[in-house]
Amino acid sequence: MEKYHAGHIRPADRSETTEISYLIAAAFEPFRGNAPTEALRLYIENSCNIDERGDKGQVLVLDHNGHIVATVTYYADATLEGLGWPHGFAGFRTLAVHPQARSHGFGRRLVDRCIDNARRDGAKAVGIHSAAFMERACGMYERAGFVRCPQYDIYASSILGFDRSLGDELVIAYQLPLPES
């Protein structure tokens, strides 16, 4: 596979939701043992609910050689995510790359597409959430220019609605300010 330039990014088709859900589950499965079990289980379940997100954001996929290898959901209005972002922010969530397709720049291509979309949509910033145990993703966001903004950190239990005593995880926030052009 050609690094970074391979594949085609396009909006997902509703008929692909099952395939995308399997990809997301496979992408997050390697994190078992790095996060509280209940938090990760509910996160994966929530992330695989493509239909709910598709009504508020745009589900994008990266198709490489006829196979969906990565996905992300872009929100022109990040307030629709329900994660506390202010008006004027765009956002994205559930960036997932199939484990067998990692290290080819697919995730970064999707990040760049979301940033380009946010600029096109006139957003003043792009807001995202991640978790500290997702070290590769956090590093990629930082290399793309995102900076930590702890004022938007939230706990997984508050998003997913489970008892904190089952083991909670801090969901850390990043933002990328977009200068006016």
pLDDT digits (tens, 9 = 90+) for 15-34: 999 999 999 999 988 877 76
Question: What pLDDT is attached to residue 2?
Answer: 40
Identify the pLDDT of residue 54.
66
Burial of 82 (0-12, 13-18, 19+ CB in 10 A): exposed
Of residues 167 and 111, more confidently modeled: 111
CA 16 from chain centre, in angstroms, equals 18
Domains by residue range for the chain, with CATH: 8-177 (3.40.630.30)
Residue 56's nearest CA partner among 39, 79, 33, 72 is: 79
128, β-bridge pairs: 174
Q: Which of 173, 56, 67, 164 is closest to 126 using CA atoms?
A: 173
Q: Please, what is the average pLDDT of the chain? A: 86
Question: Which positions ≥6 away from 52 have C-beta within 8 Å?
Answer: none
First to last CA, the chain: 35
Give the angle 138-83-170 at the CA atoms, nearest 5°. Answer: 50
Arithmetic mean of pLDDT, 46-65: 84
Q: Is a pLDDT exceeding 60 seen at residue 4? A: no
pLDDT tens readout for residues 97-148: 998 888 888 999 999 999 999 999 999 999 999 888 888 888 999 999 999 9
High-pLDDT (> 70) share of the chain, %: 92
What pLDDT sits at residue 1?
36
- Position 157 scores a pLDDT of 74
